[in-house]
Amino acid sequence: KGYSDAIIKKSLVYCSILKLNIDEVPVLAQILFGKPAAGEEDFCKRLHDLYHNIHTVVITAADKGCMIYSKGRLTHVPGVPVK
C-alpha cells in the first residue's frame, strides 16, 4: 500500500478537482465511508457531502471514457478509439 488513509483524508480538504480512475473508486470509498459506494454517482455525491470544497470529480475508465461529476450531476463522456 503506497498511501496513507490519513494523508488522503487531509489532502482532500485542499482539493477542488479530484481525478481518479474507476479502480480507485471502491478503494477511496472504503477509506472515506467505511463501505463501498452504490456506484460512481453515489460515490461523488457522498464525497461532495464530506468535502464541499471538491466541486468537480473526474473518474477515468480507459476505453469506456470518463465520468465527470459537477454541480450535482454525473455526465458520461465516451471514449474515442485510438488508431
| Partner residues linked to 70 by β-bridges | 56, 73
Task: Please tell me the predicted confidence (pLDDT) of residue 18.
Answer: 98
Query: Cβ distance 43 to 37 under 8 Å?
Result: yes
Q: If you average pLDDT over residues 4-24, what whole number do you get?
A: 96
Q: What are phi and psi of 20, to 5 degrees?
A: -145, 170
Q: What are phi and psi of 21, to 5 degrees?
A: -100, 165
Task: Please tell me the predicted confidence (pLDDT) of residue 2.
Answer: 75
Cell 477542488, residue located:
16
Q: How far apart are CA 25 and CA 82, in angstroms?
A: 25
Per-residue pLDDT reduced to its tens digit, 28-83: 999 999 999 999 999 999 999 999 999 999 999 999 999 999 999 999 999 998 88
Q: If you average pLDDT over residues 13-30, what whole number do you get?
A: 97
Q: Read off the C-alpha cell for 11.
A: 489532502
